[in-house]
Structure 1
Amino acid sequence: MSSKVTEITEELVQPILAEMNLELVDVEFEKEGKNWFLRVFVDKEGGVDIEECGQVSEKLSEQLDEQDPVTVPYFLEVSSPGAERPLKKPQDFIDHLNSSIYVKLYEPIEGDKEHEGVLKAFENNVVTIEITIKTRKKEIEIPYEKIAKARLAVTFN
């Protein structure tokens, strides 16, 4: 049920976002405790504001009421992905070159399933991250298909 709801929600929200010059970052449909949440994360260059999220929520809510893809009571949340925005598509990696990122892998590379560093390249479906071990910098190449999750990482210098 969850993947069908997210698919339909993506289809319904795309025209709304295109009209508002916003980008769809992610859609989640998850149960937390006894409640279901349909979360839609949107963004644009410079970030989105609460008014834009409210407009998307209003328009999407109307579409969801018409289509009725969700068979259980749920809460609809439309928001910015925040500072630790997920990187879902290849284009996300290209758009965030030289940013700090965190990746979690399906299997270890260089002895670890988790790496945090600066995104240096995304070419031929390979993500290159520069990590710092003590005072030494090292580049790690990670095939895109081995990434379970990736997001921007907030760092404090």
Structure 2
Amino acid sequence: MTEKATQLSALLAPTVEALGLQLLGIEYLPAPGGSLVRLYLDVPDAEAETRYVTIEDCEAVSREVSARLDVEDPISGNYTLEVSSPGIDRPLFAPAQFARFAGERAKVGLKLPQEGRRRLTGTIVSVEGGSILFDVDGQPLTVDFDNVDKARLVPDWAALGLAPARDAAGGDARPGKPGRKRAAAKRSPKAG
């Protein structure tokens, strides 16, 4: 998170928690015409199996956060406030969030290149202190959390039933019609 996003998170987390929710993180995107402030909400860990963030939750947080921002006025100029659930491709804002999803795949953008790459997609293996161990294409890669620019979980669409399972060779594992073979037609030049 940027310094401004961290400042906003510290300011707004108590407001979100007072509504029985958890502030996962904030994206602050400054722009000439007006900034974008995007809050990601979640339910407390104890309720994660039985409750989800609803549109009513987002509306309530939006009202309370807007009032708090009006009073504190931490953002100069115009801004747009967005309040969202994390979704299935949830963003990851802290080492504890990476640890919570150990065993899941994540797509990560790095601030500085590491081992020749600025982006990686790999399985979160473990988190120790400020370091995150990934399995990237069968190879271990340790990334310092301070070098993470953005990170999101990569949904397993097949496990969610939203895509066909892949076979070991990476192809579609659904039984289907055999492929049609087309015979090449031989053309003979027209006699004229």
What RMSD over aligned residues (CA atoms) do the two structures have, in Å?
Answer: 2.4
1:95 paired residue number: 100
Q: 1:145 to 1:69 in 2, by over 3 A?
A: closer
Aligned partners of 2:41 and 2:86 also within 8 Å: yes
Aligned partners of 1:104 and 1:149 also within 8 Å: yes
AA in 1 matched with 2:57: E
Alpha-carbon distance in 2 for matches of 1:122, 1:53: 30
Higher mean C-alpha deviation, range 88-97 or range 32-41: 32-41
1:37 paired residue number: 36
Alpha-carbon distance in 1 for matches of 2:103, 2:157: 15
2:84 paired residue number: 79
Give the CA deviation at 1:142: 2.5
Q: 1:31 to 1:119 in 2, by over 3 A?
A: same
Secondary structure (helix, strand or coil) at the match of 1:65 reads helix
Alpha-carbon distance in 2 for matches of 1:75, 1:124: 34
Unaligned runs of 5+ in 2: 159-192
Report matched runs for 1:112-123 at 5 Å.
112-123=117-128
Alpha-carbon distance in 1 for matches of 2:30, 2:145: 28
Aligned partners of 1:12 and 1:60 also within 8 Å: no
Q: 1:14 to 1:143 in 2, by over 3 A?
A: closer
AA in 2 matched with 1:55: A
The share of aligned pairs that are identical, in percent, is 27
The Cα offsets for residues 83-127 of structure 1, whole Å up to 9 and x where unpaired, read as 222222111111111111112221222x32322121111124331
AA in 2 matched with 1:108: Q
Provide TM-score, normalisation by structure 1.
Answer: 0.79
Report matched runs for 1:41-80 at 5 Å.
41-44=40-43, 45=48, 46-80=51-85
Aligned partners of 2:33 and 2:78 also within 8 Å: no
AA in 2 matched with 1:152: L
Greater CA radius of gyration, 1 or 2? 2
Is residue 10 of structure 1 aligned with residue 13 of structure 2?
no
Higher mean C-alpha deviation, range 97-106 or range 18-27: 18-27
More contact order relative to length (CA 8 Å, sep ≥ 6): 1
Provide TM-score, normalisation by structure 2.
Answer: 0.66
Q: How many residues align?
A: 150
1:152 paired residue number: 153
Q: Which has the higher strand share?
A: 1
